[in-house]
A and B are shown apart, each in its own frame.
Chain A
Amino acid sequence: MDPKLARALEFSQYRETLNNQMQALKSQVEVKLMHSINGGTFRVSPELITFVDLLIAKGQSETVLLDINNTPIKIADLADFSTDILSRYHEVTNDYLTQYENIRKARSVTKIVGK
């Protein structure tokens, strides 16, 4: 095989592995960003964090939020909830960054999967 073509195909294999590993990492992050309370489940997002903080800033201490299934869930202690989701967000996204950088810097298929 033409050596240039062989190198291009090898690079294509590397890109495909890289892409799938990035997607896998994103899925792991999505799993970890789920937060359950009082029978409901929420995806921890900047929107949720901001909305909860807005409610607290408006003087509310409890509220009802719609979860991932659009089920109304009573949040009895908004301040506690805010702390929980914010810390979850920080923890998950920091870990995401570390793992993302490791994968991004990997220059071979074996390094992408940490071999």
Chain B
Amino acid sequence: MHISVRRAVAAATMVILVAAAGACSSKSGSGTSSAPVPGVTDTEVVVGTHTPLTGPAAAGYSKISAATKAYFDYVNANGGVNGRKITYKIMDDGYNPATTQQVVRQLVLQDKVFAILNGLGTPTHTGVLDFLNTNKVPDLFVASGSLSWNQPQKYPYTFGYNPDYTIEGKILATYLKANFAGAKVCTFGQNDDFGDDGLKGVQAVLGSGGVTHSEKYDVTNTNVAPAIGALKAAGCQVTISFSVPGFTALAIGTGAQIGFRTQWVVSNVGADYATLAGLLKAAAGPLLEGVISDAYLPSVDDSSNGWISLFQRLNTQYNGNAPWDGNVLYGFSVGYLFVEALRAAGKNLTRQGIVQAVEKNGFTGPGLFGLRFSKSDHSGYGGLQMGKVQSGKAVLFGPVYTTDDGTGAVTESNATPAAPPANGIPA
């Protein structure tokens, strides 16, 4: 009969194990259970994010959430927002959608966060859209330029942050049309929404025949030589690259090796100079000189900009002086926007309230152009300025352009960005 004894032992251990796990969960949940709104007490608001801290996408991107947290630490040290300190729970998903499912459920169901802020990645975040919206969890400022985030009817709680890749494609193409008239324009894009939406924008301006040749790459295959060779064979004089930093570096490096002389134009997602220079090492100077890009945040190298000097100061004080680059700037900007939204949602903070506050918009962050948020539009930044690498620095020039993701024209904006408040905290 000892088999049944063994079974009983096994069963008992399992019950104890699960019960212990359950006990842990109820303990950590009870701190906020008295409050009517999940994650909100009179003295604290808890928000969470999913982001790659490990794995192939972690390089660069892992610095974003740390910078956002550093900004919250600064705000907390100055009394928080409406008397509440912000607690930011950062969960590593390794850019694996299955892990994203797990960690976002943990944040919402177990840690009872008030909102998900700046969840990173198109494939990863797509998987949790339904979950977050059925549970009515504000899903603010997704770190990706996919068009999926702007579906207010279907996903009323989700808001984007980056300008979508279609408006970026349209703006880049408009600049090229005016400044490189008659040149053979080609594209090199990531084989997903990023590359597809970008190409769509370029074709909206140049016409489908306006793109001489189009190549794609997959993140899982680092051999871009055949694609770059095909672009060279097609005689591309200007090449627009919708690529992440790693593949921008590969494309430019491979192009140099095979003697492909082209004007590189790179999407802002993959154009951060510090990140590219780190990847291209000694060759960075000559290879990146003259590369054209665009930006919706001020240039990281522009220390005369009030926002840049503010965030650089906070980076030293609160972020362990992390190497200053576009990712750190991005993280601080997201933190600033969230604090603005919290403030606008008022003392009586509810999930519905912050959604309404974001839809009401009126935010004045470091962006070169405003955010497009409204009741019928949940997409993020709507304007971009052209930039160029000059003597190893990214320099922005010309007007800020804005457009829509449809057939609308690209227009110049004459709005001047606001200066940051003196203490660096939204008033």
Is A bound to B? Answer: no
Q: Could you list which residues of chain B lie within 8 angstroms of chain A, going by C-beta atoms?
A: none
